[in-house]
Amino acid sequence: MGDRLPMKASILVLPGDGIGPEVAAEGVRVLRAVAERWGHEFEFEDALLGGCAIDATGSPFPDETLEAAQATDAVLLGAVGGPKWDDPEAMVRPEQGLLGIRKALGLFANLRPVVLHPRLISASPLRADLLEGVDLLVVRELTGGIYFGEKRRETIEGVEQATDVCTYSVVEIERVVRAAASLARGRRGKLTSVDKANVLETSRLWRRVTDRIMRDEFPDVQLETILVDACAMHLLRRPADFDVIVTENMFGDILTDEASMLAGSMGLLPSASLGSPVKGRKTRPGLYEPIHGSAPDIEGQGVANPLATILSAALLLRHSLGLEVEAAAVEAAVSDVLDSGVRTRDVAGPGEPWEGTATVGEAVAAAVTEGRPMSRATPTPSAHA
Ligand code: IPM
Ligand code: MG
């Protein structure tokens, strides 16, 4: 560890809307603490995405943001969206910014780890005995499927109808299954592929390609294949059985909201969206964001939980910058802060005291700066994906 070189990296910050700027600031605070402790040089730049970008430029994903995102080593995002831009008939919507940047950067693998902090088990609506040992990672395909297929409205014989086309190519399936299976190999060695092959043609292709990739390239990884409706049920019935789950874009969207409830609060769950490693580049393109969204109801109050964003910053260190020691140190710091009893409002028990966004961010940054005593310096067994 002593002979690792300090690293220079650029990080693009997209604070976005709602509580996005509040939580993004805490992610940056913790990344600065990491840079300081290990002697890295991180350069931060801000750009607009989502509703704030619509207000300033008319576009949810301005060209300037695209150019900055293409030039940077990694992107940290707060959240986008809010009631101000919520008219479903509007032509321009904040969410288009998010979908646009995922597609433009080729971020096809969306990692959503769900790990339970033992002290927060009571925050989950599920019974504690079902939750023991829950440590799963959903790998959601992010740039294909029904999200990106042709969309159409037409009126046929006086009746209006709408169409969303769902398409998957073999290449799109192969790359996300490989990414998920590689991650399973580094964990408990089990991959669950989720589809709807009893109904959908895309799912039948998904299943065939997955079977082949797993047989030919990952014979050491155990493959389980289940239908998406059954998966929704098993996530509640036997959540601890899952290791890595791989699935298509929309199933992944739905199942990850469900899975987040295992952990009690969405305020704790990070995500990473990864592209293919680029030859000759030391860093891997990636966008990192909390999964909780812009929470306009608590915007500007300083009560949002910054831990999902801070844990997303840890994933950024791990997956885009290759800084595993630093990533594990941030995760350990979050764990220690929770152990010490510091809580934001969303995870505080009834009558328990709670702290604001910045106080919790400062506590994690301080824990990163101080580091754990050597005997505890190993990453926790439940280290986030
Ligand atoms: C998510 C969100 C987005 C999605 C929305 C905001 C477009 O729900 O990241 O899960 O559906 O992908
Ligand atoms: Mg979603």
Q: Is residue 250 located within the same domain as residue 159? A: yes
Residue 196 designated active-site = yes
Q: Is residue 109 located within the same domain as residue 218? A: no
Assess contact for 6 and 38: CB atoms under 8 A: yes
Distance from the CA of 313 to the center of ligand 1, in angstroms? Answer: 19
pLDDT tens per residue, range 273-324: 999 998 888 899 999 999 999 999 999 999 999 999 999 999 999 999 999 9
Does ligand 1 have an atom closer than 6 angstroms to the CB of 258? no
Q: Is residue 237 located within the same domain as residue 279? A: no
Distance from the CA of 344 to the center of ligand 1, in angstroms? Answer: 24
pLDDT at 372: 76
Q: Is residue 38 located within the same domain as residue 109? A: yes
Does ligand 1 have an atom closer than 6 angstroms to the CB of 253? yes
Which residue has the CA at smallest separation from atom 8 of ligand 1?
Answer: 253
Domain boundary residue, one of 260, 284, 303: 260
Residue 135 lies in a domain: no
Domain boundary residue, one of 260, 280, 298: 260
Residue 187 lies in a domain: yes
Domain that holds residue 180: 142-260
Assess contact for 269 and 258: CB atoms under 8 A: no
Treating both helix axes as pointing N-terminal to C-terminal, what angle do 20-38 and 357-370 enclose, rounded to 10 degrees?
A: 10
Using CA atoms, how far apart are residues 202 and 19, in angstroms rounded to an integer? 37
Residue 229 designated active-site = yes
Ligand 1 atom closest to Cα of residue 256: 10
- Which of 95, 101, 111 should be mutated for ligand 1, with most atoms under 8 A from CB? 95
What's at 357, amino acid-wise?
T
**Total domains present in the chain:** 2
Tell me how crowded residue 174 is: count the other CB atoms within 10 A of its CB.
15
| Predicted confidence band of residue 382 (pLDDT cuts 50, 70, 90) | very low
Residue 168 designated active-site = no
pLDDT at 383: 38
Which residue has the CA at smallest separation from atom 11 of ligand 1?
Answer: 253
Q: Is residue 43 located within the same domain as residue 146? A: no
Q: Is residue 272 located within the same domain as residue 382? A: yes
Length of the chain equals: 385
Distance from the CA of 244 to the center of ligand 1, in angstroms? Answer: 20
| Predicted confidence band of residue 381 (pLDDT cuts 50, 70, 90) | very low
Tell me the mean pLDDT in the region 249-270: 92
pLDDT at 375: 41
- Which of 80, 85, 99 should be mutated for ligand 1, with most atoms under 8 A from CB? 99
Residue 40 lies in a domain: yes
- Which of 253, 254, 255, 266 should be mutated for ligand 1, with most atoms under 8 A from CB? 253
Assess contact for 26 and 88: CB atoms under 8 A: no
Q: Is residue 20 located within the same domain as residue 118? A: yes
Q: Is residue 318 located within the same domain as residue 241? A: no
Residue 136 lies in a domain: no
Residue 208 lies in a domain: yes
Closest ligand to residue 271's CA = 1
Tell me the mean pLDDT in the region 242-246: 98
> What are 381's two structure tokens?
């067994």
Using CA atoms, how far apart are residues 307 and 241, in angstroms rounded to an integer? 26
Q: In terms of pLDDT, which residue wins out, 350 or 71? A: 71
Assess contact for 179 and 211: CB atoms under 8 A: no
> What are 26's two structure tokens?
């805490």
Tell me the mean pLDDT in the region 191-217: 98
Q: Which residues contact 160 (CB under 8 A, 6 or more apart)?
A: 153, 154
Ligand 1 atom closest to Cα of residue 99: 7
pLDDT at 10: 98
Q: Is residue 246 located within the same domain as residue 316? A: no
Assess contact for 208 and 241: CB atoms under 8 A: no
Identify the CATH number of the domain in which residue 220 sits: 3.40.50.2300
pLDDT at 63: 98
Q: Is residue 103 located within the same domain as residue 20? A: yes
pLDDT at 3: 58
pLDDT at 380: 41
Q: Coil, helix or strand for 78?
A: strand
Identify the CATH number of the domain in which residue 45 sits: 3.40.718.10
Using CA atoms, how far apart are residues 86 and 60, in angstroms rounded to an integer? 13
pLDDT tens per residue, range 89-143: 899 999 999 999 999 999 999 999 999 888 888 888 899 999 999 999 999 999 9
Average pLDDT, the chain: 94
Tell me the mean pLDDT in the region 69-85: 97
Q: Is residue 359 located within the same domain as residue 315? A: yes
pLDDT tens per residue, range 318-327: 999 999 999 9
> What are 266's two structure tokens?
């969405």
Task: Name the residue among 185, 146, 137, 140 with its Cα closest to residue 167.
Answer: 146
Domain boundary residue, one of 238, 260, 282: 260
